Amino acid sequence: MTGQAATSPPSSPFGPDFVADPYPTYAALREAGPVHQVTLPDGSTVWLVTRYADVRAALADQRLSLDKANSDGSWRGFSLPPALDANLLNMDPPNHTRIRRLIAQAFGPQRIAGLRPRVEAAAEELLDRVAPHGQADLVADFAGPLPVTVICDLLGVPEEDRAALRGWTDVMLSPPADDPRAGARVILRLQEFLVALIADKRRRPGDDLLSAMIDARDTEADGGTDRLSEDELTSLAFLVLFAGYENSVHLIGTGLLALLQHPEQLDAVRAAPELPAGAVEELLRYEPPAPVAFRRFPLTDVTIGGVHIPAGAAVLVNVAAANRDPLRFDRPELLDVNRSDSGHLTLGHGIHYCVGAPLARLELQVAIGAVIRRFPKLMLAVDPADLSWRPSFRTRGLRSLPVTF
């Protein structure tokens, strides 16, 4: 299979200014061409897809495998032990189909709607704690602990373990610069914790997602063809915990910042009784928590955007660049909570569309709605240029969000 040669913007586009504002880099890449071979900060060479039409097609292209066994060996990436690696982000059909079918009901509209009162109560409890002080760090005091509460409720994690879980997850997201092995140690602690929690749930099952997943693991269904392996069970619990926490923290933090930086948009959503669904979709489009979707490996040579990519090479699809593609969205650089056409790719597309999407939308709507309702004089406490961001091209998240109210 042949195609045109890729255009040549900077081969290492992730410079010192990238973390604070990646969007000029994304725009330059998108304008220069649909696909580029670039070097990541860890030294890996990948093919980066930047334009909306190509990104959307790639997300649904089953010739692009999520299974690392189909890599040509050039991908470095993030390493997990086998007991945590057998999850949906590393699987193709039929295993992906089998596991997703087993958990889809747990994330269905009815169960998620049933979580709303608990999410609302948790949000109000957190805001009650900071309200008397007139100032807060909305990441440390609100956006961080709220998703932990929700995910731990969903999985049935005991109250006494939740602070430790949040600490471990924070280290995974941003290991200390002076301790490069901290992330690996924390992953092993998480694995040990989940194995012990699963054993406890087997002895004393409850009305929670993890107990339901254990039942799917231990009960023969359809002649055994749908049964989870033990590693799949542990990996699935890890994925729900980690992805559910990380993405929601970033969504709430960057969503609040976006509104604070666009006062007219903040006024528009404040006038509504709750954050409108259209505003939720616009915040999802404007600041995706995962700017690049999980890596993929072509099963055969493919052509994307007219560019030839060999089998086994690592492909990253740049969702954040696609969400601001002017060929797809009118004035994409502007935040517009009344935008009538969402069509964003933040939650994916195709068979790998985010299974937790209903929960992400619920948390974003409740969390931001609660903050702007409680604090009508909410303002940033620092210059936006002084905000601290997590140093990663894979995630888009604030370390802190100091505000006054």
Catalytic machinery residues: 243, 246, 248, 354, 363
Stated as kind and residue range, the H or E segment containing 51 is none
Query: What does R_g of the chain's alpha carbons equal in angstroms?
Result: 21
Strand 315-317 to strand 45-49: parallel, antiparallel, or no bridges (unpaired)? parallel
Cα gap 366→348, rounded to integer Å: 22
Nearest to 347 by CA among 336, 335, 363: 363
Cα gap 35→213, rounded to integer Å: 39
Q: What is the DSSP string of 270-335?
A: HTSSS--HHHHHHHHHHS-SSSBPPPBEESS-EEETTEEE-TT--EEEBHHHHTT-TTTSSSTTS-
Stated as kind and residue range, the H or E segment containing 344 is none
Nearest to 370 by CA among 54, 156, 136: 136
Strand partners, 315: 47, 296
The answer to whether the CB of 45 falls within 8 A of the CB of 74 is: yes
Backbone angles phi, psi at 10, to 5 degrees: -55, 135
Cα gap 400→144, rounded to integer Å: 10
CA distances from 55 to 35, 169, 339, 361 (A): 10, 29, 21, 22
Nearest to 163 by CA among 152, 174, 176, 178: 152
